[in-house]
Structure formats: C-alpha cells, structure tokens
Chain A
Amino acid sequence: MAIKIKEFINRLKEYNTTWKTEPRSGQLHSISVLFDTPDQIIEAAKATANAGYKKFDVFTPYPVHGMDEAMKMKESKIGWIALLAGITGAITALLMIGWMGGIDYKNIIGGKPFFALPGSIPITFELTVLFSALVTTAAMVALFNKLPWTSNPLHETPFMKSVTSDKFGLVIEAADKHFDERNVENFLGQLHGHSIEKVYYPIPDVGKTKTPVFDLKFMGVIAVTAILTAIASYAVLNKVLYTQPFNWMWEQPRLNPQAQSNFFGDGFGMRMPVEGTVARGFIPYEYKGMPDSVIKLLANPLALTEEVIQRGKVKFDIFCSPCHGYYGQGDGRLKGQFPNPPTLHSEKVRNWQDGNIYNVITNGQNVMPAYDKSVAREDRWAIIHYIRVLQRSQNAKDTDLEGK
C-alpha cells in the first residue's frame, strides 16, 4: 500500500515537472502580440475585428471597459440559459409539490387545501434559483471554459506571464478561417505592438484523444476536494451544530406525559378530556347492556353486494371460524379445548334480527369474548351478511331452487 502511494506521488511529481517544462511541438496554435496601454489594446481589438478575424482573444490584467464592443462580441447567451433553467426549476417545483401534496400523499395540514399556490411559492422560488444557479455555472464551465479540456496551449508561455502582470495581449488562433501565418504576422506588426510570438501546442497535447479530465492529478484534486467537503459537511452538520449553545430547543419548559405538575391544583400534569369527548373517527356504541327490543332497531347499514359478502367471508374465516367452524355449525378447529359454541343454523339464531347478532359480536355472550376491539364496525356488519348467506345455504327451501 505504502509503495503504491509513493509510486503515485512520484508519478504526480513527474507529471508536474514535465508539465511545467513541457516541450512544444511544431503544430502552431496561435500568434500573440503584446501592448503597453489599455487604449492600444482597444484599438488593436477593433482593428482585428474589422480585419475579419473571428477566433482571436484579448488578455488584460484587469477588466477594460468597452472591450466587448471593440471585439464585436455578441451578447452572451448565458442569460437565456439561466432563464430556461429557472423556468424549468419553477415548473419542476410546482409539479413536484402538486403531485406529492395533491395526488400521491394527501395530508390535511393546518386546514389548507392539498395543493395551494401560496404555500408552494417559497419552494418554487428556491428551486428556480437552484436550477438556474447550477445550470448557469455548469454551462459557463462547459461551454465557455471548454470542459473537458482543462488546459490551454497559452498556459506556461512568456505571453501569459506578461498579460497576467502588466501587459495587454492579443492572440489570433490558427483555427481562424482567414489565418495565414505570414499575413497574420504582418498584420500584427502594423498594430504597433511588440513581442510578436508564435505559440505552439505542447507535445503532450498533440494527437491526444484522451481529455486531461482523466489525468491522475486532475482526478486526484477532484477526489481530495470531494472527500474534504464530505468530511467538513459531516463535521459541521452532525458535530459542530450539536455542541452547546446550539440546543435546537431540546431544552424548554414542557410537561412529559404522566408527569407531575404544580400548575393545576390536583398536581396532575395531564387533564381528563371534557365529558362527552369523542375521539376522532370513533363512533360510540350506545346500546351496550340495553334490552333486546332496542337492539332490534339496529339495521345493517351495508348494502348486500358480492364485495361485502366476500369481505364478510374473509373476516368470518379469520375471527369466527376457529370456534364456530367454517360453515357456522359449531365445529371449529378448537373443538374440545373450549365449550363448543352452538350452531348458527338453529331456529333461534335464524330468527334473530341483525341487531342481535351485532350485539353479540360487539359485546360477547357467555364464553364468547367481545370483538369490538378486534373487528371493525363495518366488518362486523359484513360478517352478519355472510352469516345470513351461510344460514340460507344450510336451510334452503324448495322455492329457492326455482328463483335466482
């Protein structure tokens, strides 16, 4: 492992030194010229643009006003890219919020509509900014800095050293349509500049098909940056922000459930709900312990459909069949372990109203426990429908064969 790292560092060092003193090939990249004042470079840029050259560039140590016009540069397209990305971001945000809140996961929050524009605006705004910022940066790097190329033949030349300190430079590239070595040299000579030089491609760049993005050094820098950023983010978000004094409102005056409190006279922290309070979604059963005559008034609220009967069968098979048996004959799988329940096909049960059966399921009878906690209200009524089907199947009359 250690040897490998050493090898890697050596290769980096080697690469670094060769890069700095890289030999130049015979392939011409451009011809450069230097000027001493900003006025001269403006004039030179105007003359070059007027001469019809398109692929030329100007380098100055600081921004020179009026350069865009002098070079006849078109207005940058970056604004349109930012606009398109921003619109994409806004539409993405609205579709996302609309789908999540309005379609996929409807949740009532503060009594607001599932999808409401006012509440969505902040996220829409943020995604608009985020999209346009990221895309603009990426577009700038990719289009204008010509990724994946990370270097330029002008780097590491005397020309670049001059224009980054106190000189103003102009470069006409060999890739230009009107480029002719002698003509360009003559033309640059007329501009009252000095140090006209030919810039050649460095040898590593000639005929290179692999982009420098895959260079070890480049990848190494990217990898190290990514790792450092990850570590720093982790440390800040998970460690630094959770040290005092950031307590994120963990510490605040509050009352834990079941805890004592001196706020109320009786010393209890929790309060009894107001009499008659009903929990959400709960409908009280008012007929408990009441005579049969009242319970008879309870009618089955479910329509008699195949779906309901199927549901009743499922629930009956789960909850009732262990004792009553799959056909309600009192021959369940637990036979012998408990007193056997009576058959559901007796005269008595057949003549019961739905309300009576409902009462027995809800509150239990004799050995049978109450099922109000384990079987939902609607399911109980479905089970009753199914019991009626069973009863009729076991006590079919001749007339049943004729009808449908």
Chain B
Amino acid sequence: MEYIKKALPDKFAKTGWILLVLGIIILAAAFAVDSRRAFFDYLWIYMFMISIGVGALALVALEYLVGATWSTPFRRIDEFLAAIIMLLVLMVIPLFFGIHDLYHWSHNEIVSGDAILQSKSPYLNMNFFTIRTIFCLVVWLFFFFMMIRNSEKQDLTGDPRLTKRNNIFGTAFAPLFVITLTITAIDWMMSLEPHWFSTMYGIYYFSGTMVAAFSVTTLFAVRLKEGHYLDPKINNEHYYSLGAMMFAFNTFWGYIAFSQYLLIWYADLPEENFWLLMRWEGSWKFVSIALIFIHFVIPFLVLVGRSQKTNPRILKIMAIWLLFAHALDLYWLIMPTYNNAGAPLGWQELAFPFLVTGITMVVFNLRASKRNLVPVRDPKLESGLNFHL
C-alpha cells in the first residue's frame, strides 16, 4: 500500500505556539492578580488535558482490546494526542504548590477541628495523595510508551506480532485506565468538597472523558481528511462510526449525570444535596441549566439521525461543540468551590481556551512532524480502509 507523507502546514504549528504562549501569559498574569483563582483555572486546564491525553490513549487501547479495524486508519491521531501524557508530568508540578489554595483538607488545623475530615484523613492526606498522583502518571506513561513504541516500530518492520503484543497492553490498560481515572477524579476534583461524596463521580468524569476523546479524534479525523492527509478510502461509514461513538458516549454521560442527580434529589439528604445547591446559587443556576442543554439535549437531537452522522461538516461542528460541553462540565465541577456566589468569568478564564488548544496543537504537530499520519504497515489497515457497516 502506497503512502506518501504530507507534512502539516506551518500555519498549524505557528497558530499552536502563538495560542500556547498567549495562554501562558494570561495564566501568569492571572497568577499575579489572584493566585487562588489562577490555581482553580489551572486545575480546570489540567483536568481537561487529562481527558484529551489519557482519553486518547484509552481509545488506542480500546482499538487493540476489541480488535477493531475501522478506527485503524486514524489511530495515529490518538497516538499523537496521547503524547500529552508526557506533558502532564510537568503540568502537575505547579498544582502541588496550589494544594493549600485548592483543598481545605490539606490544612491540618482545619482537619483537627472537623470529625468528618479526621475520619477521611487516612485517605485524604498529602503523602498518600502524592503517591496516588504519581501512581496514575506512571501507569499512563508506561502504557503510553509501550503501546506507541510497538505501533511505531510496526511502521518499519510490519511485524504482526507487535499488534498481538499491543493487544495484551491494551487489555491490561483498560481496567487500569478506569481505576486511575476514578482515582484522579476523586482526588483532584471531588475532594474540592471533602465533605461531599458521590459513588458515581468516577464514572461521571469517565463518561465526559470518553466524549472529549471521541470528539477530538473526530475533529482531527475530519479536518485531516479534508486536507487530504488521510487515505481517500475513508468514507461516510467511518464518519458514521465516529459520530455514533460520540453520540453513544454523550448519551451515556447524560444517563450517568442524570442518575447522579436523581439519587441526590430523591434522598434529599443535607450531606449530599448541598453540592447541587451550591450549583444553584446566583449565576451558577444558569450554568447548571445550560449544561443540560449544551451537553445532552442539543447534541442528542443533532446526532440522533443517520444523515447527520455521515455529514463531515455537522460532525466537525458537533465535535467542537462537545469539547466545549466537556469544558463547561469541568468548569461546573471545579469552579463553584472557588466562588460559590456566582460563576466566575473574566479575562483569567481565557487562559483555558488558549492553553488547551495551544497544547493540543503543539503536541500534535511535534509528534506528527516525525511520524507517519497513518500506521502504514499495520495488518489491520487494509480491512479498516475497506470498512463497511
């Protein structure tokens, strides 16, 4: 099979770097003005980058685990995006300086006067917290290096045994992915309100992560196909499958989000309902209502039909839409702890779109510049290109 590599345009890399630098400048300025707010914004960015990076690695693992062939022609997109994991190791360091601003369980004097926090302290303490964070990062890094190395080696050797080896790694990563993601969600987001708990919190973040991962894959796949970087054989049925996955996981998110809400609403216990009531204060009320429509109702209605899922333009718009929805979801999860009276929205929050798009574009460009955009000698590629529903 003939593959001639076409380099990404310089404009792509340039835009990425400009956005990244602008984002860093805004974040630094925000830090100088109000460091507590900047830490919350930064946590928001960090969680979103986990969704993209680790979510992308999960999609790579998922393809190997289930033996899918239809996604092989654009598996490289996820492999490139998974490189964000390497950056996460650096990104997490500044967060540790903001622990005391972010989490009030980290203050010993507050814990000593609080019976609930005291009984939670065997889990919620600085040492164990750090160990868990490092554990998650190590797991992600290990599987990232192993799977991506095998996949790239295959471009040179075409050895089908590498696929088998990756099948094992993909299978091992699937449960670890869910466990590490749950730990991350509980540690970095749920413990913002250490008195509150929800047993569905892990899967709630997981469902959002999968939506974001499929959306970003769809966005890159459609854009790259439009620019003729991918094989011309990629057709409507590939698009349909991407759209269906996006639709399915978004509906799953709606299901999980509603289930969590319904249980809290029904029991109406003060130890649980205050978390939702916090999100009903002032302008948070509008964010909460908007989240239902932006993250569930509108994407559901748009993507439910078959013709929309095969239309690249609609897919592109919905991918961006759902990425925005996931950002809004994380904002809704994190920021009420910073300001409970109303949704904080100022120039500081601009750091989010700049940094998130900047990091994604720069990482993608750095990875793509030296690698093939298509796993050229993957044994599954041929059947993936001739994929029919």
Question: What is A's interface to B at a CB cutoff of 8 Å?
Answer: 65-66, 75, 79, 83, 110-112, 118-119, 121-122
Contact = CB atoms under 8 A, between A and B. Distances in A.
Contacts of B261: 118
B258 A119 contact: no
B268 A118 contact: no
Given A79-B306, A118-B261, A110 B266 contact: yes
Interface in B243-268: 258, 261-262, 265-266, 268
A118 B265 contact: yes
Contacts of A118: 258, 261-262, 265-266
* Majority SS at the chain B contact face: helix
For the complex of A and B, the 7 pairs showing the least CB-CB separation, nearest first, are: A65-B388, A118-B265, A118-B262, A121-B258, A118-B261, A119-B266, A121-B262
A66 B388 contact: yes
B305 interface: yes
Contacts of B305: 79
12 contacts: A75-B306, A79-B305, A79-B306, A83-B304, A111-B268, A112-B266, A118-B261, A118-B265, A118-B266, A119-B265, A121-B262, A122-B262
A400 to B, nearest CB: 60
Interface of B: 258, 261-262, 265-266, 268, 304-306, 388
Nearest to A64: B388
B384 to A, nearest CB: 15
A119 B262 contact: yes
Contacts of A119: 262, 265-266
Nearest to A63: B388
Nearest to A109: B266
Nearest to B306: A79
Nearest to A79: B306
B326 to A, nearest CB: 22
Given A111-B268, A118-B266, 10 more contacts: A66-B388, A75-B306, A83-B304, A110-B266, A118-B258, A118-B265, A119-B262, A119-B265, A121-B258, A121-B262
A118 B260 CA distance: 11
A110 B265 CA distance: 11
A389 B305 CA distance: 75
A121 B261 CA distance: 11
A79 B305 CA distance: 8
A112 B265 CA distance: 9
A248 B265 CA distance: 27
A121 B254 CA distance: 12
B347 to A, nearest CB: 37
Best-surrounded residue of A75, A83, A118 (most CB of chain B within 10 A): A118
Contacts of A79: 305-306
Contacts of B388: 65-66
A75 B305 CA distance: 12
A112 B305 CA distance: 36
Contacts of A122: 262
A66 B258 CA distance: 40
Nearest to B264: A118
Contacts of B304: 83
B19 to A, nearest CB: 40
Contact of A110 (B258, B262, B268, B306): B268
A41 B258 CA distance: 49
A122 B258 CA distance: 10
A335 B305 CA distance: 85
A107 to B, nearest CB: 15
